[in-house]
Amino acid sequence: MNNIIYKGPLNSLSFGNVSFNLLKTMFSSGMSAAIFPQGKVDVSSFGKVEKDFKLWIEDGINNRFSRLKKSDTTLQMWHLNGSENRISSRQILYTFYELDQPTEEELSLSSFQDKTVFSSSQAQSLFPNSSFAPLGFDTSFHKTNKKYLENKIHFGLMGKFEKRKHTEKIIRSWIKKYGNNYDYQLTCCITNPFFKKDQMESIINSMLDGNRYGNINFLPFLPQNSQVNDFINSIDIDLGGMSGAEGWNLPSFNATCLGKWSIVLNSSSHKDWANSKNSILVEPDGKQPAYDDIFFKEGTEFNQGNIYTFNEEEFISAMEKAEKICNINNIEGEKLKSKFTYENTLNKILE
């Protein structure tokens, strides 16, 4: 397939990162694309973009209408909610689904596509007429070989604050074990762009019960991939893998690919890339409704169902295990870089 119509976001959020890498792979493969951006285009987070690739994107956007052909397939990268609009008669949807109870509307929208491709094998198993194409490693992430916090064990938590991600439970558990023990440091990058600054500050203060912990640091949103790369390189142990429901979990996956040790809840899409050789697994102890009345509201047409839960003591035990091996490079984790590539992702989608 040399010509394609592509519809998706290009921004600093996770969807935008996936779009950027899919388009980069199309460019490298010599494909021609009519590009229909979803929302405002902002590629500033990717740093210096190769000149020829940047021109290819601009050409694909500026000449998208003149390139339209009835015979071309549209690849749309978006949520199920909002995927009903077609540009051409044949459409493939690449999407992410995190819960366990697809609604009638979600099933209908998935079946409405000529093919729906999910990033998670668990999601694919819940929808008929669907396929599975795992995400790839973004090769712009790399080891910096810098020295960061020496003589401390540095834990990191990246991912917007949500009930689904167990953000509060993870931090409270860490405090219970390591709070104000200065041999350990926790750096959190958990700003949720859907919350105002004062809301986010109130959430953090409530989570800490108004106490101060000198060994916990909260970072603002990191707009540049280079900053995210620095964050990953600075930590020894990743905690973001304890999320209760994911379509892939890019921060924890990228950390593992860079040789870090991630503590991972053995559920949802994590099972597609994390195992006992490359991660420290924690088995879920059950499920709970995902509803938080913000991002997941009970009784609506979308995002209904449950997230996986975990036992706090088992999580603390996993952190203790991580302490003992965090100075050993995760060789099995680094192997994921060659196993999961965006070339493979695009090829699986276009099959």
**pLDDT for res 44:** 84
CATH topology match: 3-137+340-350 vs 153-339 = yes
List the chain domain ranges. 3-137+340-350, 153-339
Beta-strand runs (E) in the chain: 3-8, 32-37, 73-77, 90-95, 115-118, 130-132, 153-158, 184-189, 216-218, 237-238, 261-265, 280-282, 286-289, 306-309
- Rounded to whole angstroms, the Cα distance separating 251 from 200 reads 21
CA angle centred on 115, ends 93 and 301, rounded to 5°: 60
Measured CA angle at 106 (ends 300, 133), to 5 deg: 135
**Are residues 100 and 308 in contact, defined by beta-carbon separation less than 8 angstroms?**
no
User: Quick count: other Cβ atoms within 10 Å of Cβ 75?
Assistant: 22
Q: What is the pLDDT of residue 273?
A: 98
pLDDT of amino acid 66: 96
| Greatest extent of the chain over all pairs of C-alpha atoms, in Å | 64
Positions of the chain with pLDDT lower than 70, given as ranges? 1
Give, for 233, the enclosing helix (H) or strand (E): helix 225-234
- Angle, vertex CA 141, rays to CA 295 and CA 345, nearest 5: 65
- The superfamily CATH assigns to domain 3-137+340-350 is Glycogen Phosphorylase B; (3.40.50.2000)
Phi, psi of 115 (to 5 degrees): -160, 135
CA distance 319 to 23: 38
Q: Are 282 and 264 within 8 A, CB to CB? A: yes
Please spell the DSSP secondary structure of 246-289, one letter per residue.
Answer: -S--HHHHHHHHTT-EEEEESSGGGGGT--TTTSEEE---EEEE
pTM comes to: 0.95
Assigned fold of 153-339: Rossmann fold (3.40.50)
pLDDT tens sequence across 53-79? 999 999 999 999 999 999 999 999 999
For residue 194, the model assigns a pLDDT of 85
Closest CA to 18 of 172, 326, 296, 249: 249
Instruction: Report the C-alpha gap between 207 and 135 in whole angstroms.
Output: 32
